[in-house]
Structure 1
Amino acid sequence: MNHSIYSADRSTHLKVVVVALVAGISVAGFGISARLGANDGYTQTARVIKADRPVMVTTSTNTAIR
């Protein structure tokens, strides 16, 4: 094996490319599996609030309906 990238032959370059490809695939696989495993129900959902009747909020405990 050559210790310089400038004087490396074809097989050394191929080994470097294969090691980089395996490392990239393993990092991507780890990221995807970590993301899929983190589904603990903390997803955001749209909440629908329907209008009922007008309510005026006061400083007392009673609410006044107009």
Structure 2
Amino acid sequence: MNHSIHSADRSTHLKIVVVALIAGIAVTAFGIAARTNADYSQTASHAPVKAGKPVVVTSSNGSMVR
């Protein structure tokens, strides 16, 4: 068994790549399976929200230097 990645042979490198690939596929499959399947078809039937009149917001909490 090789304890250093620098002195590892070709088969050890191949094993590391295969394990990393399997782990990546497992994480991806878990992420796809865990997502919520929300039904957005009902939200598209509502009327859109329209913008109202413009509003100006000001404040004068700072000190004025002349």
* TM-score w.r.t. length of structure 2: 0.59
- Runs of 4+ in structure 1 deviating by more than 3 angstroms, as ranges, are none
**Amino acid in the other structure paired with 2:43:** T
1:48 matched to 2:29: no
Deviations 1:13-62 (A, max 9, x none): 00000000000000000000011xx2355x4723226xxxxxxxxxxxxx
Identity of aligned residues (%): 70
Alignment partner of 2:43: what SS? coil
TM-score by length of 1: 0.59
Report the count of equivalent residues. 46
CA distance in 1, matches of 2:25, 2:37: 22
Q: What letter is aligned with 2:33?
A: S
Alignment partners' CA distance in 1, 2:16 and 2:5: 10
Q: Say what the alpha-carbon RMSD is for the aligned residues.
A: 2.0
Partner of 1:39: 37
**Structure 1: which 5+ residue stretches go unaligned?**
50-66
What is the match of residue 5 of structure 1?
5
Higher RCO (CA 8 Å, separation ≥ 6 residues): 1
Structure 2: gaps (5+ residues): 49-66
